[in-house]
Amino acid sequence: MFSTTPKHPKPEPVLNFSTGISISISIGSNIFYIGLKILDLTRVLAGPFCTQILADYGASVLKIEQPGVGDETRQWRTAGESQKWKDEHPLMSLYFAAVNRNKRSVTLNLKEKRGVEIVKQLITEGWDGDGGPHGNTGGGADVVVHNFLPGKMEAMGLGYDDLKKLGSVGERLIYAGVSGYGPRGPSAQRAGYDAIALAEAGLLHITGEEGRAPVKPGVAMADLCTGLYAHGAILAAVNQRERTGVGCLIEGSLFESSVSLLINVGLASMNLDVDKGPEKRRRGKRLGLGHPNLVPYGGFETRDGKMLFVAANNNRQWKGFCERMGIAGLGQDGRFNTNDGRVENREEINRILQGRFREKTKEEWLAIFEGSGLPYGAINDPVEALEEHPQTKARDMVIEVDDFEAARDGVLKLIGPAMKFEGSKMKLRIKPPLLGEHTDEVLSQLGYDATEVTELRNSGVV
């Protein structure tokens, strides 16, 4: 058995970012850098999306994966996707690549005691950062993120109370757990799945066309929103640690995130018609592309079979909208001169507008609305949005990775970070990693020599 005591003491770091968040900008390269070390024990989407956001901001993220298998999304290929990848790289997919850039991959078997010991060693000793002008060269982990079922981390000896005992690093550790339903309550031990969480939280009930069955969003909104919430909570906890000197436990779930997204619809259900009995309560309606509180608001088909999305959020916009469409008289109709009136006459307004939109093509309508200041836009498909929309290029929303060894053509296109920081640039530091690509490198930093790493691999630990 290997000791968790470092074999080769590391030099005292010049900058120890484990003492808190440190944001730096390199004057020469203008690279945005947030100095955090994050141990990522998550899989699938919510957790990896959270840690990728932090990795994009410059955090040094170490993704721990099961030996020989890895994150299950490595095998989640869409129809025809196998032609993208070389045969010798079966454990790579576009799904995985979408949320795992700027991370290192280390394989560790957490069912093995030595695997758990190495995790604790990584927490207490840390690992070398991602290099560059502000490379993190010392100190333990700042954050642990996991999405195991409640109680599983504790059973492995990796619970928050266990890790808090790891000296000063443990005391300052920020520990974020994301599950399906949270650590307490009757559903705590149920596994979390995006669409199930959306269904139980009431979001699917209000999504889809009126009079038809509910539909789910085209992407996993519960997972993605949970990842967004978690990344913000982690940064808030880091800020708190700066004041208190101690870490904290963060708990979130797909279900809670989904419930929070009910916003105005949820408040209407809880606060209106409560005195009319269960059968007359407001339970939300499916409005397709419509809005429960605004009319017009939705998609309309044009003469060439394309669709535009338009809206009028106030009376001024409504009148301006009608003028642009060449139906100014509609904007003067007394039935429609208030938002309440427009909501009450939803069907008639939508019928009139749909007839008008069918008189011109999508491009003709876009030209008419250009410069109007009104809410409008084409309903684009992903190719139009990512490869043809001029704003996508202007805002660097597509990243092209060259010499990507798993791809047959050596090229991988990624969707770039949504947020930009003035005066600095977030760059791709690490391509989506192959399974265990950085295992030997990281173990070497912990003091394991090549013979010991081979023994760990042969024993199924890494």
3-state DSSP percent of the chain in helix, strand and coil, to 5 = 40, 15, 50
Q: Is 194 assigned a catalytic role?
A: no
- Per DSSP, 307 falls in state E
Report the alpha-carbon angle 33-238-220, nearest 5. 80
Cα separation, 178 vs 189, in Å, equals 13
Identify the burial level of 203 via C-beta atoms within 10 angstroms of its C-beta, where 0-12 means exposed, 13-18 middle and 19 or more buried. buried
DSSP 368-393: HHTTS-S-EEE---HHIIIII-HHHH
CA 387 → CA 83, 151, 302, 396, 409, distances in Å? 21, 45, 23, 11, 18
Strands 248-253 and 174-179: parallel
Task: Supply 147's token pair.
Answer: 């999405």
User: What stretches of 111-244 adopt beta strand conformation (E)?
Assistant: 143-146, 174-179
Neighbours of 431 (CB within 10 A): 21
Which of the residues 142, 194, 223, 304 is marked catalytic? 223
Q: How many CA atoms lie within 13 A of 182 on its CB side?
A: 11
Nearest Cα residue to 134 out of 36, 45, 67: 36
Helices (H) and strands (E) in the chain, counts: 19, 13
Cα separation, 456 vs 440, in Å, equals 11
Cα separation, 237 vs 220, in Å, equals 26
N-term to C-term CA, the chain? 14
Nearest Cα residue to 40 out of 118, 112, 119: 119
- Per DSSP, 85 falls in state B
User: What stretches of 57-166 adopt beta strand conformation (E)?
Assistant: 60-65, 103-107, 143-146
Catalytic positions:
223
